[in-house]
Amino acid sequence: MRPGRLALVLSATAYVVVLVWSALVLPDRVPSHFDAAGRADDWTSRTTMVAFWAAMGLLVLVGMPALTRLAAAGDGTWVNMPQRSKDYWFARERRAEFRVRFGDDLDQFAALTGALMTALLALTTWVATSGRDGAPWWAFAGLTGAYLVGTAVWTIRLLRAYRPPATP
């Protein structure tokens, strides 16, 4: 199994475990939004919250990989990358390799996004079940910051990985 697909499977598994745990332990009234200080400032029902997170999980962990494969299946029209890279990777002799590599790389990004969603769902569930009025202010900032750093590292790696070789 390719590394990106493995990361996606692990991320999706963790997400489903946390979603099931949340469905079992959430009270009837659940915080659905937090202000900048981490305090809950909007509420919803357990059913609505679980349905929302289930839909988000399907959209990200199933939809992103499916859309990636669909976008990469054609001539590159739906793939956003520098034109020189696109010309190189969508040449007939490299398209098959591109599809495999690109699919795996986007699976990694879906896994990263799934990890963020898993952490946010776990944090929301913890707040809802602990009787607290919110989460520590740094929790959401730390998760978002880590996700943004991970996204930046992933993007830089992709730009380098898909750079065509220098022409003489």
Dump pLDDT digits (tens) for 133-168: 899 989 999 999 999 999 999 999 999 999 998 876
Contact 108, 3 (CB under 8 A): yes
Report the distance separating Cα 99 and Cα 101, nearest Å.
6
pLDDT at 76: 86
- Whether residue 12 is predicted with pLDDT greater than 80 in this model: the reply is yes
CA distances from 40 to 5, 91, 132, 134 (A): 35, 52, 9, 5
pLDDT grade for 22, boundaries at 50, 70 and 90: very high
Q: Strand runs (DSSP E) across the chain, as ranges?
A: 29-34, 40-45
Largest CA distance in the chain: 66
